[in-house]
Structure 1
Amino acid sequence: MHLTALLGLCASTASAINLYVSDYAGNVTTLEFLQESSGNYSLKPTYVNPGCAPNPSWLTLDSHSRLLFCANEGLSSANGSLTTFTINSNGSLTSLSNTTTLSGPVSAVVYGNTHEKAIALAHYSGSAVSSYLLRDSKPAFSHQFPFTLPHPGVDPERQDAPHAHEVLTDPTGQYLLSPDLGSDLIHVFAINPESLVLTPCTSIPATPGSGPRHGVFYNPTGFPNAGGKTYFYLVEELSGHISSYEVSYLPNQSGLSFTGPLQSQNATWLFNVPGRNAPAEIEISPDNRFLIVSNRNSTAFTLPEIGDSDSISTWTLDPKTGAFNFLQLWPSSGAFPRHFSISKTGQFVAVGLQSIQTVAILQRDVATGLIGEPVARVEVSGNVTAVVWDEEWTGMGYVG
């Protein structure tokens, strides 16, 4: 190979980034996102792994250990499962273990200390949270916490039972939380700093009928142990709103207290949309300045060559008060953006468009927070459930 050709190859691959996408057809697909020498971007499947079949619903990447965890919801079976993949140097996945779980896992989070890790799952149809210690990188069952509902909620069709929809940790790592769409609660667990055992604390009530789905914490300083206030933003699937709370830490790791809602806004702001909006995912930008939410089922836009499109809303965050203020409503580049994730630099948003089986990469202006046109998109094998960036990948291998 001529030196010029080799240099061209290096230039074309140096900016390649891998993403992993799960879909209800049973596959986890590795995508390569590449900026070509022309300046244009491409997005293409490189590997497909069926090891999380039949219904992958969520992906959690542990970059440090080079493991990818996939929750299988098991839509037509009595149980779900959790698959652990090792990430190979070329971006392909190798199944390390497959663990049977309670039915309906739809979210997972890894937590731990300096010498041990655990993973927790939220079970939507199983009405519970479960946890597993990660011994030799393989899940070993630890605890299961079932929830009950004495009577249906405000929306009896959707709130017929507890439906844990997410698990996440607080900024200090002391607590694990789980928004419950069916019970209008946010369940709270204290994390033992040594054993990683979860202890239930008093659950926090959300607005009746709101249907809590996902949440995110905001510490204006970016350093949770440096003092100052902490806020929590909750996306509510049934009400279509975003609600904010101020967080207080109770003494002796005995729980959390939420003041609020301080603010509750329609996730599409004042725009009239033809469908009943069902917001799905919520994240804060890497620079800690913007709140971003995906909106489904509302068909806010019609796009050339794509047709109906839902939306992504962006909000500025006030570091003094925790208030979130509307900035932008932008097309999600297709229908039903169930999940999205933001690149480490904040320059791109990867959107998982469930009903059209597509992943779209949208540009984002880091300075203004405004989302822009799609730079690449690709269809996968089934209805998309999650998409995550793996930015340890450089296109020439992994950086340590």
Structure 2
Amino acid sequence: MHFSRLSLASLAASQVAAVTLWAASYGGAGLGDGGVTSLKLDKTGTGGYTLKQTSFLNGSTSCGAQSSWLTKDAWNNVIYCVDEAWGAANGSITSFHSSPSGSLTLFDKQISLGSPVSTVVYNGGAALAAAHYDTSAVTTWEILPSGGLKAMQVFRYKLTAPGTNPTRQDVPHEHEVILDPTGCFIVVPDLGADLLRIFAINKKTSMLSESSTFAVAPGSGPRHGTFLKTADATYLFVLSELSNTIASYSVAYTATGLSLTQVFISGAYGVGVEIPTGAGAAEAILSPDNKYLLTSERHVASFQIPNFDPKNSTTLPSDALIVWTIDHATGKLSNAQRAPAGGMNPRQFSVNAKGDLAAVGLQDDGRVVILERKKDGSFGDILASVMIAGSPTSVIWDE
């Protein structure tokens, strides 16, 4: 791992105009100011990259002190931000319009149940669903013509007894809302209950109905996931935080909903790779070409990377990003790469539409980095970085 300018060949493959990114960040005692930062990624005259802050909205006057997730609504050109609001009965979902410069303007804010940690727009831009971690709930929201929201449904859950890991599985913990490739279902990993909750979407009303649940191994703590649709099959990949495992499921569409069959499971650091003590699996996304599953691991300094200050020779600890090759015929995964994330606690990361750049929010470092993605699917150099206010939790591209 090293910092360098791109080669001419790599440059030709990575030509991009200036692009906007947005990052959400936690604030609070010892964390600084949380909120939403607008960033601009640009090329330099020498072929490198610069990443700069262009504006910042303090959470206390915008999204909230614990801004935890950003979603871009491609149908309505709106940015939704949720305030996790640690320990509070209520959080919020804030709606922003963006300007050509990337700056955001708040135009709607709705009070929600506490601890929203993920949102997804569904039914062709008609509605939004949210997962609520501490308040053990899923909520749905009508998207109004303005892009603002109106509350629709609340699904709340309880446990009859704590789970296998009673500290983390004291109550249900809904952690993500995942839209399936047909746009007909939403899957919600429940970290506390060791379930995948499956909801059917009514296309006329945007209402959800509870279709079924799928139990994962006790103590797994399913956190995040993503679907892959191939020419012949559909798969669901689920990353479990507590067991640090990644599993693949073949998906069958039935008269009553979705049927899942596990076809693969491995430790989340790689097939046959021992899981370091204290590790915590975080994000799972597909590469834009659908060839690779990309995941992140936290809380273990798997690498030492060069200092971002060229005058400082002290190396810095870094967690890992994992690249998995997907067998489209079976849904099974194989090891491709374990690479430095650019720092500690890569809670969430995203890849641009072209697939040659990844943006990583490093929660413990207060930094966002841009990583090169090579044609073989692997991560390469750190191309640019910037410190932002608070602890970054989510970073997305304006694409």
Relative to the length of structure 2, the TM-score reads 0.90
Output the CA distance in 1 between the equivalents of 2:193 and 2:80. Answer: 27
Q: Tell me the amino acid that sits aligned with residue 385 of structure 2.
A: R
Deviation track 1:84-136 (CA, whole Å, cap 9, x = no partner) reads 001112211000111000010000000123xx610100000110000000112
Matches within 5 A, 1:253-332: 254-260=256-262, 262-269=263-270, 270-272=272-274, 274-305=276-307, 306-332=315-341
Deviation track 1:34-62 (CA, whole Å, cap 9, x = no partner) reads 11121010000001112101110100011
The alpha-carbon deviation at position 28 of structure 1 amounts to 0.3
Deviation track 1:255-292 (CA, whole Å, cap 9, x = no partner) reads 211112x2111111144464322110001110110111
Deviation track 1:161-199 (CA, whole Å, cap 9, x = no partner) reads 000000011000000111000000011110001111000
- Tell whether 2:248 aligns with 1:244: yes
Find the counterpart in structure 2 of residue 389 from structure 1: 397
The alpha-carbon deviation at position 373 of structure 1 amounts to 1.1
Find the counterpart in structure 2 of residue 379 from structure 1: 387
Find the counterpart in structure 1 of residue 7 from structure 2: none
Matches within 5 A, 1:225-240: 228-240=232-244
Verify the 8 A CA contact 1:282 1:293 in the aligned structure 2.
yes
Find the counterpart in structure 1 of residue 167 from structure 2: 157
Verify the 8 A CA contact 2:244 2:275 in the aligned structure 1.
no
**Partner residue of 1:72 out of 74, 83, 86:** 83
**Partner residue of 1:92 out of 103, 109, 129:** 103
CA RMSD of aligned residues (A): 1.3
Verify the 8 A CA contact 1:72 1:81 in the aligned structure 2.
yes
Output the CA distance in 2 between the equivalents of 1:87 and 1:55. Answer: 21
Q: Tell me the amino acid that sits aligned with residue 33 of structure 1.
A: L
**Partner residue of 1:336 out of 338, 345, 348:** 345
Q: Tell me the amino acid that sits aligned with residue 129 of structure 2.
A: A
Q: Tell me the amino acid that sits aligned with residue 281 of structure 1.
A: E
Find the counterpart in structure 2 of residue 217 from structure 1: 227
Q: Tell me the amino acid that sits aligned with residue 86 of structure 1.
A: H
- Tell whether 2:43 aligns with 1:35: yes
Matches within 5 A, 1:333-372: 333-365=342-374, 367-372=375-380
Output the CA distance in 2 between the equivalents of 1:35 and 1:234. Answer: 36
2:93 counterpart SS class: strand
2:364 counterpart SS class: helix
Total equivalences in the alignment: 367
Output the CA distance in 1 between the equivalents of 2:179 and 2:89. Answer: 28
Output the CA distance in 2 between the equivalents of 1:301 and 1:265. Answer: 21
Q: Tell me the amino acid that sits aligned with residue 120 of structure 1.
A: A
Q: Which runs of 4+ in 1 moved over 2 A?
A: 270-276
1:356 counterpart SS class: coil
The alpha-carbon deviation at position 307 of structure 1 amounts to 1.5
Unaligned runs of 5+ in 2: 1-14, 28-33, 308-314
- Tell whether 2:150 aligns with 1:140: yes
Q: Tell me the amino acid that sits aligned with residue 139 of structure 1.
A: L
Q: Tell me the amino acid that sits aligned with residue 354 of structure 2.
A: T
- Tell whether 2:195 aligns with 1:188: no
Find the counterpart in structure 1 of residue 25 from structure 2: 23
2:329 counterpart SS class: coil
Verify the 8 A CA contact 2:89 2:135 in the aligned structure 1.
no
Output the CA distance in 2 between the equivalents of 1:315 and 1:138. Answer: 38
Verify the 8 A CA contact 1:273 1:300 in the aligned structure 2.
no
**Structure 1 14/372 Cα, relative in aligned 2: closer, same or farther at 3 Å?**
closer
Q: Tell me the amino acid that sits aligned with residue 99 of structure 1.
A: Q
Output the CA distance in 2 between the equivalents of 1:78 and 1:147. Answer: 15
Q: Tell me the amino acid that sits aligned with residue 38 of structure 1.
A: T
1:18 counterpart SS class: strand
Find the counterpart in structure 2 of residue 63 from structure 1: 74
Find the counterpart in structure 2 of residue 129 from structure 1: 138
